[in-house]
Structures are given as structure tokens and as C-alpha cells.
Amino acid sequence: MTPITIKDIAREAGVSTATVSYVINGSKPVMPEKRQRVLDVISKTNYQPNRVAKSLRTKKTNIIGILAEDILEFPTVGIINGISEYIEKTDYNILLNDLRMLDSLFNQYDQIIHQKDKINNALSFLVFGAKVDAVIYVGMFNRDITGILSNINKPIIVAYSTSSDEHICSVNHDNENSATELTRHLIENGHKRIAVITGLAHTAPAQMRLKGINRAFKEANLVLDSTMIRNGDWERASGYACMKDLLEHSTRDTLPTAVLAMNDLMAIGAMDAIRDAKLKVPEDISVVGFDNRNVSNFVFPKLTTVEIDLEAIGYSAAKIATQKLGGAEGHVDSQNIIIPSKVIMRDTVARLK
């Protein structure tokens, strides 16, 4: 059976082939009556556009490649969901490549340099094998990946990490201001003896969040006591160990009234240590986290934390990709986009009298 062509559709609908093309691609407005005639013929003939022929003609596949460091890690699903939400509104499709780097890196995220060849081999496959039009690189940890991704002469957008490479745009969240807001929330509730459990101290998120915490203390004419800072490693067990050490080195009078952990896993570990010491959250010690992971809403009491808008990060990254490809929305104004976060107030912060 001879395949139906655009010319056949145009002849049957009594319009030009250009009009049929405009209807199929949504590239230009078409009078409603003509548009409906074209759609009726398409429905009757079960016409399917020849994507291969179109890609050869336009040198575009209308596919956005997603290169994810690991789909099992915390931020990835939300970011990909945001990408999908935006792409559904366009005539682009998505091709996902999962690098599965969680087992090889675990929490040694700064060792990504050792994965450079693996990353760029996958990048080359997406560009030269699958012939995607652009690539969105989804990080599993918030860090600088400058110098990691090769220049492929196609748009690259990095989500949940940053890069100062000129050929890359990045979309990230606001670590510093979010940490300031979270600390203000504790101070506004009367807390002055605030302990901090950091993530790995040399990592960018830990440094930026500590900077934001110090800013909130300075605004309130307070000083963060360095003896109340403990360095964790982003994992729940380290939150427990840090909190236990804080308790063992405190008297009843010097006990922190609140603990700010730099992620939810460490915050929940701290809550476990507080309970094991026969103390209560938040009656004896308030606890806050960061990330708003699903578990933060299911622990008891429910954890006050910072919500990172992962869907917005993905949505913005996809929007930038299509803009870079010459979409209707035009030029990209900034190379680095920052998505605001917000404090989610739940049940782990007591108001001091």
C-alpha cells in the first residue's frame, strides 16, 4: 500500500501543502475552517508524519537528550518530571541515558573527574549516534562540573549543577539564600544556641549553606559558635554521630536549643540520637533539615525543611534547550539560572518563650 503523503492530504482537504505542514507542525496559524479540514483528512487516512525524512530535510530530529548521572539519586526524578512537563507542550521528544554513577561515586561527588571519559562517551552517543538536537545533563549532586563536558557544538544545559564553560547553560537552586531563610526561621522562634551539622565540608553546597547561616546570624547580631558545628557526610548515620557528639559535649545549660542539619537524612539521624538520649523533638531540641525529601513528611514529628523546586529546575532547563534551538520564545538572557527554594514549616521547631 502506497504511504499517504502531505500532497495527498492537501489535495483531499483542498488546501496547499504548506497549510498542511503548518497544521502538522504548529509552525504558523491556520484559519480554523481550513485547519479542521486538514485534521479531518489526517484522521480519516490515519496519516503519520515521516520523521526520518523530516530530520534529513531539516537536519533536526526534534529529540532532546537527557544524560542523567543516576536516576536513583534524590533529585533526578523530579528534574526529569519537570523536563517532561515542558517538552509535552512542544513537538520535541526525549531520549534518556542513565550513567548509573551512584555506586561508583556514592557520596564522593567531587571525584566526578574520574568519570569524565564515561560521561563524554555517553554524550557522543547521544549527539552522533542518536543525533539529538540538544542535551540536558542532570547532576545527582550540586557541584561545579566545569571542564567535564566536551563542546559538542549543540546546546548543553546542566541541571542541578553549575559550569562556567562558555558553551554550557546551567539551572540550579539557591543554597545560600535558602539556608539564610531557614536559619532566620529558627532565630525568629527564639533560638540562639543553634548547632549545625554540615555535609562534607569541602563541597560547594556545604560551603554556600554555611555562608547563608552565618549571614542570618550576623543580621540578628549573633555569632555562630564554632564549637557547635559538626561535619557530617550527607548520610543519616553521620547525622546521628554528630548529634550524639554534640550531646556528649554539652551540659544542660549549654545544650543547643536547635540543630540545623544540611540535609534531611542527617536531620533524621540527629532526631534519632536525640530520642536515644531520652530527649524530645521539638520540646527539648528543635531540628530542621534541607531538601524536603519524601521521608521528611513521614517521620514523627514531621520535619521542617527547605524544599528545592526540582520540577522547576527541569522545566527551566527544557525551556532553555528549546530556546537555544530557535524556538518561538527567543533568546536566553542568562547563562546561569537560579531557581528559588522555600522553607516548609512542619512540626520540629518549638517556639521559645
Q: Which CATH number fits domain 6-49: 2.40.50.100, 1.10.260.40, 3.10.450.50, 1.10.1040.10?
A: 1.10.260.40
All three cell numbers of 16, joined, read 496547499
Amino acid at 261: A
Chain-centroid distance of CA 111 in Å reads: 20
CB 138 within 8 A of CB 94: no
Residues in contact with 348: Cβ distance below 8 Å, sequence separation at least 6, in sequence order: 267, 271, 281, 282, 286, 287, 288, 301, 302, 303, 304
Q: What pLDDT score does 39 carry?
A: 84
| Domain topology for 61-174+310-341 | Rossmann fold (3.40.50)
The segment(s) of the chain belonging to CATH 1.10.260.40 are 6-49
Given this model, what pLDDT does residue 165 score? 93
CATH 3.40.50.2300 positions along the chain are 61-174+310-341, 175-307
What does the DSSP assignment read for 101-136?
A: -HHHHTT-GGGGGGGHHHHHHHHHIIIIIS--SEEE
CA distance 212 to 288: 15
Identify the burial level of 140 via C-beta atoms within 10 angstroms of its C-beta, where 0-12 means exposed, 13-18 middle and 19 or more buried: buried
- Model confidence pLDDT, tens digit, residues 108-165: 666 788 888 899 999 999 988 888 999 999 999 998 999 999 998 899 999 999 999 9
User: CA 123 from chain center: how many Å?
Assistant: 19
* pTM for the predicted model, two decimal places: 0.83
CA pair distance 173, 37, nearest whole angstrom = 47
- Cα angle at 162 between 202 and 330, to 5 degrees? 165
CB atoms inside a 10 Å sphere around CB 208: 18
Q: In what order do the strands lie in the sheet with 258-261?
A: 229-231, 194-198, 258-261, 286-288
Superfamily of domain 175-307: Response regulator (3.40.50.2300)
Distances (CA, A) of 110 to 115, 201, 240: 10, 12, 24
Per-residue model confidence (pLDDT) at position 299: 97
Summary count for the chain: helices (H), strands (E): 12, 12
Quick one: pLDDT at residue 88?
A: 94
How is residue 304 annotated by DSSP? B
pLDDT recorded at residue 22: 82
3-state secondary structure of 31: coil
- pLDDT at residue 156, as a whole number: 96
pLDDT tens per residue, the chain (353 residues)?
A: 567 888 888 899 999 988 888 887 666 778 888 888 988 888 788 877 665 455 545 567 899 999 999 999 999 999 999 999 999 999 899 999 999 998 887 666 667 888 888 999 999 999 888 889 999 999 999 989 999 999 988 999 999 999 999 999 999 999 999 999 999 999 999 999 999 999 999 999 999 999 999 999 999 999 999 999 999 999 999 999 999 999 999 998 899 999 999 999 999 999 999 999 999 999 999 999 999 999 999 999 999 999 999 999 999 999 999 999 985 444 566 789 999 999 999 999 999 98
